[in-house]
Chain A
Amino acid sequence: MKPIKGGNERRKLALISLIDVVFILLIFFLVSVFFSSLPNEERKLFLPTPKNEPGSAQVLIQLIDDESFFYIDPLVTETLVNDITIIDNRGGSLAEKRNVLLRRCTFPMRDERSGLNNLVEKINGLIDHANLHPEEEYFVIIRCPGELPYRKVIELIQLLGRATYKNIQYGCVGGTISDIRGSKKIEKRLVPEEGQMRKNVIIEF
């Protein structure tokens, strides 16, 4: 019987595809082996020990709970200085200043509309700013309440460590939002910073 010509062609084509599949499988297994053989590497995160004295920082992060956080950065500081000036001028009380401080600086952890983590977004913004201004140094204080798992702090430190020029320094202390709610003094003050006098907010616990 005479073989059908078309059938031969089809058989040859299938063989090529088969070889192709075999090679793809080979690549797949090679890639799998590569990823599965990646070792778990322990990384060392350095954290400076806090000093037992009042400190100043450009950014204050007070972790409250899983739902919210307290955050002051240079941008918020400007608004706060204006608010405190207004309260001071009309002889307002400390309670008023506390309310303004808490209202302006307390944020939900998750943005309702976008679903993004507000704290992460703020830190990313800070990192972007630090990357654009490598000559500027930033100091971030992270305050964490005792009941929260310490990984929350480590996660923030890891984020801050992404600044390209390593111009973001950080420190970490224990503390709760109650310390800020019960602050003994809130006032604006001129603070020398990088050869300039800048208006800053002093919170005394």
Chain B
Amino acid sequence: MVFRKIDPAKDIELPTFIDVVFLLLIFFLVSYSPITPKKGQEELELSLPTAQGAGEVNVNEPLETMLIEIVPLKSEENKEDYEVWVLLPFESYSNSQKGRVTYRDAKTFSMQFQRTAVLPKDVAALNEADFLRLPAIQLMNDQIDSYVTSQFRIPHPTNRIDIRADQDVQFRIIDFIMDKCSSYEDLVPSMVFRTRFKVE
């Protein structure tokens, strides 16, 4: 009778093989950094707000200070533009409510009191006068003036203005805000950039 010859070298057990494959998979998954660089960016660990950034913000977070938000416009017509929101931690500049207004409420108030304006994406080519005439720049200018003069009466390390901006916002806009804050010298000693990170 003819029997089939079993070659022990060829007889690889499937479960053992799958076992090894899964072990390798887990090894690579665990050894790989969970924060992946975006397309076109190398060695990036930082993830700033993206086009959908506003949707991922904790809307129930109470605001501590004025927050200037610069996010891409969601309108279909002006996809290339940004919208600027000036969010205040209280309404009617009442100190009693300080810290109680959440991001969601502040956004509602900003819409209600029209503290929002459209900002062109490319402002680098504008001359200084045209740049300063932009409604969004005027809005930020007026609101910073109003907030600083009413809230920051004495220099204090905690006096600050928060900025949450899309990562592609041109530096000229940030520079304008910084210049504005520095015009008050020690009244606004610092600014805070709110950037989104994944916990390492």
Contacts and interface: CB of A to CB of B under 8 A. Distances in A.
B194 A13 contact: no
Given A41-B196, A41-B198, A42-B58, A21 B171 contact: no
A151 B40 CA distance: 13
Contacts of A117: 42-43
Interface in A95-146: 117, 120, 144-146
Interface string A44-55: 111111111000
A174 B175 CA distance: 6
Given A20-B15, A49-B190, A153 B183 contact: no
Contacts of B22: 21, 24-25, 28
User: Interface extent on B, as a size class?
Assistant: 35 or more
B76 interface: no
B97 interface: no
Contacts of A27: 26
B171 A47 contact: no
Main secondary structure of the interface of B (DSSP, over half): mixed
A35 to B, nearest CB: 5
A149 to B, nearest CB: 5
B54 interface: no
A197 to B, nearest CB: 29
User: Interface extent on A, as a size class?
Assistant: 35 or more
B171 A42 contact: no
Contacts of B169: 149-150
Contacts of B182: 49-52
A148 B168 CA distance: 8
A149 B57 contact: no
Interface in B39-65: 42-48, 56-58
A158 B26 contact: no
A24 B188 contact: no
A51 B155 CA distance: 14
B175 A173 contact: yes
Contacts of B171: 144-150, 152-153, 174
A148 B43 CA distance: 18
A49 B22 CA distance: 52
B146 interface: no
Nearest to B183: A52
A136 B109 CA distance: 48
A13 B14 CA distance: 11
Contacts of A89: none
B165 interface: yes
Nearest to A115: B42
Nearest to A158: B46
18 contacts: A17-B15, A20-B19, A24-B23, A31-B30, A38-B198, A40-B196, A41-B199, A46-B192, A47-B192, A49-B189, A52-B185, A146-B171, A153-B171, A154-B195, A155-B44, A155-B46, A158-B45, A174-B172
Interface of B: 13, 15-16, 18-19, 22-23, 25-26, 29-30, 34, 42-48, 56-58, 122-124, 160, 162, 164-165, 167-175, 178-179, 181-183, 185, 188-199
The 5 closest A-B pairs by CB, nearest first: A146-B172, A174-B175, A147-B124, A17-B15, A151-B167
Given A21-B15, A42-B197, A44-B195, 20 more contacts: A17-B13, A24-B22, A27-B26, A32-B29, A38-B34, A40-B198, A41-B197, A42-B196, A43-B194, A46-B190, A49-B181, A49-B182, A49-B188, A49-B189, A50-B179, A146-B170, A147-B172, A150-B173, A155-B44, A174-B179
